Structures are given as C-alpha cells and as structure tokens.
Amino acid sequence: MLTLAQLHGQPEIFHSIQGEGVSQGTPCVFLRLAGCNLACSWCDTAYSWNGSAPAVRITPEAAAELVLHYSCRRLVLTGGEPLLQQKTLPSLLRLLPEHAVEMETNGTIMPDAELLERITQFNVSPKLPHSGNDAGRAWKPDILRRLADTEKAWFKFVVACEEDVETILRQASRAGIPAQRILIMPLAATRQELDAMREPTVEWCLRYGLRFSDRLHIAIWGSKKGV
C-alpha cells in the first residue's frame, strides 16, 4: 500500500506544469506521498506530513489507474519525502512503464538499486539552516555525493540571502556536487514574496555562476494546492 496526501477528499494526484528546477514549465502528473523525515519551518505542503490532514491509503494499482487518467507520460513523485515509501514505489512504477519519472527528495535517504535504475531524474532539495532542521539530520554529504555520481540528479536550494549561496557552494563542494548541477530559487510562499526575492536571487546567480529556478506554481497560482 502507498500512503498519499489528500486533496479535496481524494488522493493528491493532479496534472500541472513542473514549477521548479531544471524541468520547470514541463507538463507532468504529480503524485504526492504523505510523510516526511524533516520538518521545514517554511514548507508549503506541511499538510502532507504534519498530521493536519488525514492521509489516504491506496494500492499501487489504484494509484496507477489515477495517473493513467491523464494522457501525460511524465510523472513527478513528490511529498513529503517519497523515499520513505521506496519499498512500495517499484510496484507502482512497474505499472507505468512508458512514464518518465522525476523524484523530488530532500537528499537524506539513498534510493535503492531498482529506483536508481528506474527514476529518470532526481530533483534533490537539501535543506539549509533556515529550514529549522538539525544539520545532522538535514545534510547527508555521503548520500548527496552518491546521488551526484548518478548524473541523474539536480540540486535545487531555497535561498533567503547571499550568505545562503555562500553556504551552498562551500557545502556542495565538500559533498562533490558539481556547480553546474546546482539551481537556486527564492524563499517565498506568496506571489508578493516571490516578486520581492526574484531580482536579488538572479543577481546572486550572476555573481556566483549558478542557475536560477523560478517557482512557477507560486507565480501563477499563489498558495493554491493541487497545482
């Protein structure tokens, strides 16, 4: 069984565009898994792990049927932290052989061999101190290095100030993350916050030679869920 977040009384599976990272703007089907091993203070999907909304238990077969309702053949496994359920995910993905699959992960759990082979792209979001997580739990350099070595991983970081960018470059170098695989994006939960943070974030990208990631779902829909 899979445990999914709930949206409008149904498992949270929806069709939208990828809002962040190297695939931003690409049509995808999103499947939001419940549960997380971190607790970011600014998380915009905290309902998927903090107990404020009931989760939904569903079989891989039922989840695959909901995914196949959409003609889009690019799936994003998001959360929460999807790798908490990695033992069950292969049963789902075997039912979706034609789908390219992105996995969103915080980079603290290593995918097993079957998922490493099956996943098309890992969108890794390591958490900085401003997330409110203990550094020992949120930053796993050995796992980040192994993910970087797959050449399937992109690393996207939420930044609030230039000091965050300097921290990213310092810690990423120690973890063997290539700078060309790093994207930075503004810390923002609303359109207004995003508008205020875009320009300085782009300036830091230019200054340090990093790639910028927008947050299109916030820019277009604000804090709306299921987009």
- Binding-site residues from annotation for S-adenosyl-L-methionine: 42-44, 80, 125-127
Can you say which residues are annotated as belonging to the binding site? Answer: 17-19, 32, 36, 40, 42-45, 78, 80, 125-127
Which DSSP symbol is given to 80? S
Helix (H/G/I), strand (E/B), else coil: 27: strand
Backbone angles phi, psi at 78, to 5 degrees: -130, -175
Can you say which residues are annotated as belonging to the binding site for substrate? Answer: 17-19, 32, 78
Cα(88)–Cα(104) distance, integer angstroms: 16
Can you say which residues are annotated as belonging to the binding site for [4Fe-4S] cluster? Answer: 36, 40, 43
Can you say which residues are annotated as belonging to the binding site for Mg(2+)? Answer: 45
DSSP strands (E only) in the chain: 2-4, 6-7, 10-11, 13-17, 27-32, 56-58, 74-78, 100-105, 121-124, 153-159, 182-186, 211-212
Cα(8)–Cα(2) distance, integer angstroms: 18
Helix, strand, coil percentages (3-state) for the chain, rounded to 5, are 35, 20, 40
